[in-house]
Amino acid sequence: MCGRFAITLPNDAMARLFQAVPANDLPDVPNYNVCPTTQIHAVSRDADGQRRLGAMRWGFVPHWYKSPTDGPLLINARAESIAGKPAFRAAARERRCLIPASGFYEWSKDEQGNRYPWYFSRTDGAPMVFAGVWQVWDRGEAPLTTCAIVTCDANKVAGKVHHRMPVILEEADWGKWLGEEGRGAALLMKPAGEDVLRGHRVSRAVNSNRAHGPELIEEIED
């Protein structure tokens, strides 16, 4: 799964990277501890085919929920079942998005049940881009745009810590995931190559959703 991540790229740099029109209410950056239910950056296509960089609530809300907390918190969508799940199947066909990050956190567990956080980033130092799906929930006082990160089996690097990881898209595949280049998006929902990721242990300070500083991604000794 993916339950926390970091984003350090400035908003204007993100807009240029994705060739997207930025919204006026983008979340503050940098944020080294992005948590579920907060507003995150996401790139989607509007009705005219223009890419838009906007803010979405991390935590997908299906249209039948009576409130955002009416059911399970859906921060991840499993690649293996996304096309058949009632919550996600329409979004998987019609409402896919790109979710930029600098890296993500995962936790290992020892024999005593103690959990230790790890931080994974790209080996080439480039921004990381997750595959996402989005949904507008409109049963409240105001429409709420929500999203989930698509996950898949972990590759060998991430698999040393956890059996799942986010689907990481390469730049050449961004257009296909957004539906700009015809069909084939389903083929992108696979683990990143073994040479794409690197990971290291970090402080347990990241366990607190109140911690947001750059020290959270610094490597510590095992």
- For the stretch 138-149, pLDDT in tens is 988 899 999 999
**How far is CA 162 from each of CA 119, 138, 153, rounded to the nearest angstrom?**
12, 35, 9
Q: How many residues does the chain have?
A: 222
At 109 the pLDDT is 87
pLDDT category of residue 2 using cuts at 50, 70 and 90: confident
Asked if residues 167 and 86 have their Cβ atoms less than 8 Å apart, the reply is no
Q: Residue 172 pLDDT > 90, yes or no?
A: yes
| Residue 70, both tokens | 């009416």
Question: What phi and psi values does residue 136 have, to the nearest 5 degrees?
Answer: -95, 120
Predicted TM-score (pTM) of this structure: 0.97
What are the residue ranges spanned by the domains of the chain? 4-217
- Tell me which of 2, 35, 97, 147 is the catalytic residue: 2
What average pLDDT does range 108-128 have in this prediction?
A: 93
Q: Residue 213 pLDDT > 80, yes or no?
A: yes
At 162 the pLDDT is 95
- The DSSP symbol for 23 reads P
What average pLDDT does range 3-19 have in this prediction?
A: 97
What average pLDDT does range 98-125 have in this prediction?
A: 94
| Mean of per-residue pLDDT scores for the chain | 96
Would residue 221 show up in a list of annotated catalytic residues for this protein? no
- The DSSP symbol for 74 reads B
Rounded to whole angstroms, how far apart are CA atoms 90 and 26?
26
Would residue 97 show up in a list of annotated catalytic residues for this protein? no
At 222 the pLDDT is 65
146 HSE (CA, 13 A, CB side): 28
pLDDT category of residue 113 using cuts at 50, 70 and 90: confident
What average pLDDT does range 71-98 have in this prediction?
A: 97
- Tell me which of 35, 97, 106, 147 is the catalytic residue: 106
Which of the two residues, 214 and 113, has the higher pLDDT score? Answer: 214
Q: Specify the CATH class of 4-217 in words.
A: alpha beta
Rounded to whole angstroms, how far apart are CA atoms 186 and 188?
5
Rounded to whole angstroms, how far apart are CA atoms 38 and 183?
31
Return the H-helix or E-strand segment holding 21: strand 21-22
Q: Residue 79 pLDDT > 70, yes or no?
A: yes
